[in-house]
Amino acid sequence: MRLKYILILGLLLAGLFTSCNKDENKKAGFGALSEGAVLFFDKYDGSDIKVDYYSITVADRLYQAGEGTSTSGLMNIIDTEIAIKRGGLYGLAYENCNMFAVKKFEFLYAPNKATLNQELLQYSCGREITHRNKIIKVDTLVTVPMGVFNTYVMQHKEGDKSYWNADKGLVMYERIDRATQTIKETYKLNRIM
């Protein structure tokens, strides 16, 4: 009799853990990045700090804006249509470059969980590879005005680095001086609205 109760309790607990895991797998990637969210970044350039210098608005793509028109596109991040869903941030591109193209395909741009040396291909129309980004560090703690986050580091073309957190998305970005290969400026997340 006692063994029967233990077996029933075991089955109930197994069902409970299974249902929790199923719910966990249904979560969208980067929970803080819902449509309409705006990420505000402070700019660090030597000893100079400019608060709310740069912003990214989440919509059908990541719209970048900054002080003045010349700062738009400072971050070398995805510039195609996007979808945020289970697994991370996906880019969308047209199957071909024809003006009347309607069929799109998805590619993983920034995963929720990355592995060291993972290569992430970025595409334009016609499945042409435009960038080969690479995960160069995992489990890296960064401190930004919004808090301390566990991140992975993605290296972009020309050496720029972006720091991604599984919940908040992009939390820090380092622009690299191409001539000296040193950090030129850093953008740190200060809030999400």
Q: pLDDT digits over 139-180, tens only?
A: 999 999 999 999 999 999 889 999 999 999 999 999 999 899
Q: Which residue range is the domain that position 95 belongs to?
A: 28-192
Query: Coil, helix or strand for 156?
Result: coil
Is residue 9 one of the residues assigned to a domain? no
Number of domains in the chain: 1
Is residue 11 one of the residues assigned to a domain? no
The CATH number covering residue 165 comes to 2.40.360
DSSP β-bridge partners for residue 187? 43, 173
Is residue 4 one of the residues assigned to a domain? no
Is residue 82 one of the residues assigned to a domain? yes
Is residue 75 one of the residues assigned to a domain? yes
109 touches 82 (CB < 8 A): yes
Is residue 18 one of the residues assigned to a domain? no
Provide the CB-side half-sphere exposure for 46 (13 A, CA): 1
User: What is the rounded average pLDDT of the residues 43-71?
Assistant: 83
> Cα-Cα-Cα-Cα dihedral of 159, 169, 39, 41, to 10°?
-40
Is residue 7 one of the residues assigned to a domain? no
